[in-house]
Amino acid sequence: MPAHVTENPGDLPAGFRAAGVACGLKPSGGMDLGLMVCSAPECVSAARFTRSGVLAAPVVLTQTRSRLDALRVIVANSGNANAATGNRGFEDAARMQGAASMAGGVREDQVAVASTGVIGVPLDASVAIKGIARARGELREYGHGDFAEAIRTTDKFEKAIEVDVALPSGTVRLTAQAKGAGMISPAFATMLCFVQTDAILSAETADLLLGVCVARSFDRVSVDGQLSTNDTVILQASGASGVAVEPQTVDEAAFGEALDWALRKLALDIVRDGEGSKRIGRIVVSGGDDGMAASVARAIANSPLVKAALHGGDPNWGRIAQAVGAALYDSAPLLLDISIEGVKVCSAGAATRYDVAGLAEAVAGEEVEYVVALPGDGAEAEVFFSDLSHEYVTINADYTT
Amino acid sequence: MPAHVTENPGDLPAGFRAAGVACGLKPSGGMDLGLMVCSAPECVSAARFTRSGVLAAPVVLTQTRSRLDALRVIVANSGNANAATGNRGFEDAARMQGAASMAGGVREDQVAVASTGVIGVPLDASVAIKGIARARGELREYGHGDFAEAIRTTDKFEKAIEVDVALPSGTVRLTAQAKGAGMISPAFATMLCFVQTDAILSAETADLLLGVCVARSFDRVSVDGQLSTNDTVILQASGASGVAVEPQTVDEAAFGEALDWALRKLALDIVRDGEGSKRIGRIVVSGGDDGMAASVARAIANSPLVKAALHGGDPNWGRIAQAVGAALYDSAPLLLDISIEGVKVCSAGAATRYDVAGLAEAVAGEEVEYVVALPGDGAEAEVFFSDLSHEYVTINADYTT
């Protein structure tokens, strides 16, 4: 954590209120509808979405009907992704947007809608709308805990940030809520994340900082290499602190550093809580060109053989070599170097002598670092990934039924 | 099975002898070295190999030092892949080639070497060479059962073909031995397969037929989407039957049909025996262009979410939509149709009404067919894939240690 960032559990940043309620979308009866409202008319926002070719209705609606730089209200539900639901799904998302605009007292184009849950089942919008009305009555300055709970699906623990950030021009507050935990892949990670601050940000600054920080966080994690239909990240800035973060100032650098830390922490929490995850792998690939390094890092992170070996605490680096070879096929011979936890196991494509017992011990820890050097230099790519466990199979073999 | 193909357990095709022995490469003490020898000097062959950027030493050796159209001897070991083993690995493969050339009484460039097993551990060539000498003394016309056993790793059942093929010009014999069962992906499947026939084939005909049949079989299966460093498929034709398969004749068509059937059967056996596999999925993608259809089919076949749903007998077609969207990102809206076991579940990108109970019953069978139609027409791609089970995790979390 950067020195100018301080953990401080408490209320949302000034200008924000939130709520979470159980409206009946989740069969479990758990909280499944969250509402986040900014009371500041000048609220500034920025957003990023999944790039899937199959976009969920709320993503299409928010992208096409909302002012992404001036979002004041977020309505998010779990229990149903409202994806692959056609025109009806779009209308259902629009009805949620309308209800949330009334609940928040804002225009419809100031409302973002986000959904997560099962794909391909029509969402019961009337249930969601009743939930929005109830959530309106529950809006509190300390409602972000319930909001965070309402957006979670298979997550086992809360992913949230509550910090104060000391900028040269004054202290601002930064909070965020995120959910995982499956269908997570870089490009970017398949999840929902909502960030609030009371700093004054221009729309350009908010967009720039969010873009940079998403690329260094949610773009670099993989649970199962599966890009979702619903990924949404939204940053809202109420400006209520009176502290302005001007472009190209020390304030901007310091705020950006805090946001970067926050999103990387949440991204790692998502990996740590990846469905059934026990260990985290960090893969760093250097050499080659940018596209090559990124595709190799993702191939390793998404290899079920590498992930199963990580799970078993097995230093089976041959599977790393296999994944690299598959990502860069038709390019033999590849004179790659591989190190695991600082131990060089493969040099110029061939096995080296190393301390087998020492390496076995090193890969039994909670985090394992793999470094792959490709011929050439210049590029670097980093991906964090979870292991492949029995629990992942259990969770995903029986999710809808 | 085509009508002109008849199962007939018995000897290898005329001109071939084989053996399998336990030489000590497998820690289990099981059979781990196989030798296949063709006594006909005019033996014709064709071969296909993995396209991985990280090629195992025996693959590099066979590709660079052997006459791929005139292979008479195959030496194959399990227990060690001799991959990522550098110059020493190449020398070890060359020593195996030399020993096998003496055992078979042929030139070194008439010997192919194939290995499977752990990557990145130097192979003890002297152990393999003693095994080759012992295998020479065991060569039998009925030695293909031992040969097949010697090339297996985690396979749970034998994958072999023993048939007679009635061609217009006469009957020829066709046998084949294959092994899976992990690191299996299309492009092409990650496995070893050796095919023998006593038909007379020209080198061009052998190469043409093997290429076409591999593209329709091992190129279309996936256990875990992982391309191996060692994949090798070799067809040998002794010519001992005296029946010639001339180009562009009914004989060629009939022989090709039999070879196609044989390789598709073996490819499906590999999927069926995919590590921990319980069910087989068949994905057919139509529409779009060739590259698009193939990448969508592979994305679905390799999705751990789809595979886990297949395992659980869960008709969760939203995960199919997700995998399609991820493969064709930045292309929304994708108006795709999805059918499972003939039940249309998604039409023009949106859920349709269907018999939920009937579909749940249909996906509980041993094989499940998914059909995806993309906008446009012309292309078609087909991939067979295994499910993702607890056993896959068990097998792969603890393979080297």
pLDDT in tens, chain B (401 residues): 999 999 999 999 999 999 999 999 998 899 999 999 999 999 999 999 988 888 899 999 999 999 999 999 999 999 999 998 989 999 999 999 999 999 999 999 999 999 998 888 899 999 999 999 999 999 999 999 999 999 988 788 889 999 999 999 999 999 999 988 666 554 444 589 999 999 999 999 999 999 999 988 988 887 676 778 888 999 999 999 999 999 999 999 999 999 999 999 999 898 888 777 788 899 999 998 888 898 899 889 888 888 888 888 888 888 898 889 888 888 888 889 999 999 999 999 888 999 988 898 888 888 999 999 998 888 899 999 988 888 877 877 765 54
Q: How many whole angstroms from its chain centre is CA B295?
A: 20
pLDDT at B184: 56
Kindly determine whether residue A399 and residue B119, on different chains, have CB atoms separated by under 8 Å: no
CB pairs under 8 A between A and B: 263
pLDDT at A52: 84
Burial of residue B114 (CB within 10 Å: 0-12, 13-18, 19+) is buried
Strands A280-286 and B380-386: unpaired
pLDDT at B91: 97
Select the residue of A60, A89, A119 nearest B322 (Cβ to Cβ): A119
Give the dihedral sign, CA A188/A191/A192/A194.
negative
Strands A159-167 and A5-7: antiparallel
Q: For residues A371 and A345, what is the distance between their CA atoms, to the nearest angstrom? A: 10
Three-state DSSP at B110 gives helix
With a CB cutoff of 8 Å and minimum separation 6, the contacts of B64 are none
Kindly determine whether residue B389 and residue A389, on different chains, have CB atoms separated by under 8 Å: no
Q: How many whole angstroms from its chain centre is CA A283?
A: 18
Chain A residues with CB under 8 Å of B322 CB are 52, 54, 83, 119, 183, 226-229
Residue ranges at the known binding site of B for substrate: 153, 179, 190, 275, 396, 401
Rounded percentage of chain A residues whose pLDDT exceeds 90: 61
Kindly determine whether residue B315 and residue A400, on different chains, have CB atoms separated by under 8 Å: yes
Chain A residues with CB under 8 Å of B83 CB are 318, 321-322
Give A97→chain B minimum CA distance, Å: 20
Select the residue of A88, A229, A319 nearest B322 (Cβ to Cβ): A229
Q: Which of B229, B322, B372 to mutate to test the interface with A (most CBs of A within 10 A)?
A: B322
Q: Check pLDDT > 70 for residue A190.
A: no
From first CA to last CA, the distance across chain B in angstroms is 42
Kindly determine whether residue A326 and residue B398, on different chains, have CB atoms separated by under 8 Å: no
Select the residue of A52, A84, A332 nearest B326 (Cβ to Cβ): A52
pLDDT band at A225 (very low <50, low <70, confident <90, very high): low
Q: Check pLDDT > 60 for residue A187.
A: no
Query: Is B190 one of the catalytic residues?
Result: yes
Kindly determine whether residue B54 and residue A88, on different chains, have CB atoms separated by under 8 Å: no
ipTM: 0.79
What is the secondary structure of A197-242 as a DSSP string? Answer: E-SEE-HHHHHHHHHHHHHTTGGGEESSS---S--EEEEEE--TT-
Pick from A114, A132, A112: which is nearest to A66 by CA?
Answer: A112
Q: Check pLDDT > 80 for residue A186.
A: no
Chain A residues with CB under 8 Å of B389 CB are 393
pLDDT at A183: 62
User: Rounded to 10 degrees, what is the CA torsion of A113, A114, A120, A122?
Assistant: -40
Angle at B122 between CA B117 and CA B128, to 5 degrees: 70
Three-state DSSP at B286 gives strand
Angle at B196 between CA B182 and CA B71, to 5 degrees: 90
pLDDT at B374: 92
B161 vs A126, B7, B307, CA distance in Å?
Answer: 60, 8, 28
Kindly determine whether residue B332 and residue A390, on different chains, have CB atoms separated by under 8 Å: no
Q: Which of A50, A62, A85, A190 is catalytic?
A: A190
What domains are defined for chain A? 5-272 (3.60.70.12), 280-397 (3.10.20.340)
Chain A residues with CB under 8 Å of B85 CB are 350-351
- Nearest-Cα residue of chain A relative to residue B88: A350
pLDDT at A274: 76
Reported as type and span, the H/E element at residue B368 is strand B367-373
Angle at B13 between CA B7 and CA B19, to 5 degrees: 105
Q: Which of B62, B116, B190, B197 is catalytic?
A: B190
pLDDT band at A188 (very low <50, low <70, confident <90, very high): very low
Q: For residues B142 and B146, what is the distance between their CA atoms, to the nearest angstrom? A: 9
Q: For residues B201 and B237, what is the distance between their CA atoms, to the nearest angstrom? A: 6
Q: For residues B385 and B311, what is the distance between their CA atoms, to the nearest angstrom? A: 11
Alpha helices in B26-85 (DSSP H): 57-65
Note whether A80 and A121 are within 8 A (CB).
Answer: yes
pLDDT at B228: 81
Give A388→chain B minimum CA distance, Å: 7
Annotated ligand binding at A400? The verdict is no
Angle at A167 between CA A163 and CA A168, to 5 degrees: 160
Kindly determine whether residue B122 and residue A88, on different chains, have CB atoms separated by under 8 Å: no
Across the range A35-64, mean pLDDT stands at 94
Kindly determine whether residue B323 and residue A226, on different chains, have CB atoms separated by under 8 Å: yes
Rounded percentage of chain A residues whose pLDDT exceeds 70: 96
Q: For residues A79 and A60, what is the distance between their CA atoms, to the nearest angstrom? A: 19
Select the residue of B86, B121, B224 nearest A305 (Cβ to Cβ): B224
Three-state DSSP at B244 gives strand
Give the dihedral sign, CA B133/B137/B140/B145.
negative
